[in-house]
Amino acid sequence: MSNTSPTHVVGLVDGNNFFVSCERLFRPDLQHKPVVVLSSNDGCVVARSQEVKDMGIPMGVPYFQIKDIIKDKQVTVFSSNFTLYRDLSRRVFSVVRNICKTFEQYSIDEGFFLVPAAEAEAVGWQIKDTIARTLGMPVSVGLASSKTLAKYAGTLAKRGRGVCFLSSADWAVCAPTVGLGDVWGVGAQRLRAFTEAGLQTAADLMVADSALVRRRFGVEGARLQLELQGVSAYAVAIAPKLQQSIMHSRSFRSATKRRSVVEAAVAHHVRRGVEDLLERGLCAQYLTVAIRSSRYERNAPGWGSEGVCLPIPTADLFMLMQTAQAMLTRLYQTDVAYQKAGILLSGLVPATMVTAGTLWGESLVARQRKAVASTVAQLNQRFGSDAIQVGYYAPATTWQARQDVRSPAYTTRWNMLARVSAR
């Protein structure tokens, strides 16, 4: 399981207020000014600048609840711009990969790496400084002997100078002061279970009887205990993990009872999913379609999902589209106001591992369909999503997310490049 040793430690690189930093990169006038980034549909706050955190605006709060304070304190607001964030994420991590061979990307703004203990702090600074100098993006680096402790070191780094190496001696001192709720992997549910067992701090869990911990808190509890003891239970992945599933879903601008709109949304998600499959060279064995009415309505009917095992693993747009629409027919109920639709592609396997459909090889029809789908994908890549559409369609305005304050695609569209002028 573990691939750390006494000679190596785990590092965590973490973008500071990542989405906010991405926006500020192209709006230097917003340095040291309060900024928030909203989720899709401008629903809730998903990133906050330090100034906003200091105002006490919490993560995840619905936007409409804080509109007054936003206006009052002149907070700059952005809709999320994932095209921009993904591109900057790629650039940030390519710097880290150049410095550390063993690197595992964990999320859009975080990644783990391995480094010899003797060089830990120096490498941490090298990463932070190189990213700041070449990209202008602020990151923090935490270093310790397991992922969980590296995460904690990362929070110390953010409070301090930006790089923190948490030695076992340092950890021994602070573990009794760290509440289990602040430990990575402990959410509300596990925190309650730990509290009921009389465990309050990281130190409490570290010294608890391990057999009892395993019995009472399952494998995750046992791993958590090891990680806190500085024993790595979550390896830093050397080979990139094969992706398990691809999901596309979105809330509608407002709830709808119109079947044509729900169909169009599902079709849109199938198209996006197939683009992902083709881009990554994968085929899916299972397809799930899910639609639901408002999450916040009591006893709301109309929540439904259905999954099927496909006849063969496939990335065939036409087959997936037909299958999804057939499932939707079974799920859809008239007179339900639907709020959200999505699809899940799972059981992903590399396309190269899928043998052709029949004993005599791929049929002509299948080959033609593949050719059409790949042409459609290329055209959409070139001219923008949904320039060409296969399957059901409704104007985007009928269901697509609200994005009232989105920044331009500064780095990925020629016509939106930032302009610089000098006199």
Q: Where along the sequence are the contacts to DNA (CB under 7 A)?
A: 39-41, 43-44, 46, 60, 62-64, 106-110, 151, 183-191, 218-220, 241, 243-251, 254-255, 276, 286, 295-296, 305, 307, 309, 339-340, 342, 401
d(CA 106, CA 370): 32
Q: How far is the CB of 223 from DNA (least distance, A)?
A: 8
Q: Give whichever of 119 and 297 is closer to DNA, judged by the CB atom.
A: 297
Q: Give whichever of 18 and 366 is closer to DNA, judged by the CB atom.
A: 18
Listed in sequence order, the DSSP H helices in 58-119 are: 67-72, 82-99
Q: Give whichever of 286 and 393 is closer to DNA, judged by the CB atom.
A: 286
Q: How would you classify residue 6: left for phi > 0, otherwise alpha for psi between -120 and 50, otherwise beta?
A: alpha
Q: How far is the CB of 61 from DNA (least distance, A)?
A: 8
Q: Give whichever of 258 and 295 is closer to DNA, judged by the CB atom.
A: 295
Strand order in the sheet with 103-107: 103-107, 110-116, 8-15, 139-144, 163-165
Give burial (CB, 10 Å; 0-12/13-18/19+) of 7: exposed
Buried b (16+ CB within 10 A) or exposed e, 386-402: eeeebbbebeeeebbbb
Q: How far is the CB of 419 from DNA (least distance, A)?
A: 30
CB neighbourhood size of 383 (10 A): 10
Q: Give whichever of 237 and 372 is closer to DNA, judged by the CB atom.
A: 237
d(CA 183, CA 204): 12
Is-contact 224 187, C-beta < 8 A?
no
Q: How far is the CB of 260 from DNA (least distance, A)?
A: 19
Cα angle value 194/200/202 (rounded, 5°): 95
3-state helix, strand, coil in the chain (%, to 5): 45, 20, 35
Q: How far is the CB of 274 from DNA (least distance, A)?
A: 13
44: which DSSP letter?
B
Q: Give whichever of 169 and 309 is closer to DNA, judged by the CB atom.
A: 309
Provide the angle, in degrees to the nearest 10, between the axes of the packed helices 317-331 and 259-280.
150
Q: Give whichever of 98 and 243 is closer to DNA, judged by the CB atom.
A: 243
Q: Give whichever of 107 and 322 is closer to DNA, judged by the CB atom.
A: 107
Q: How far is the CB of 87 from DNA (least distance, A)?
A: 16
Q: How far is the CB of 254 from DNA (least distance, A)?
A: 6
Q: How far is the CB of 58 from DNA (least distance, A)?
A: 12
* DSSP output for 120-141: HHHHHHHHHHHHHHHH---EEE
Q: Give whichever of 8 and 151 is closer to DNA, judged by the CB atom.
A: 151
Q: How far is the CB of 107 from DNA (least distance, A)?
A: 4
Closest CA to 224 of 237, 213, 238, 211: 213
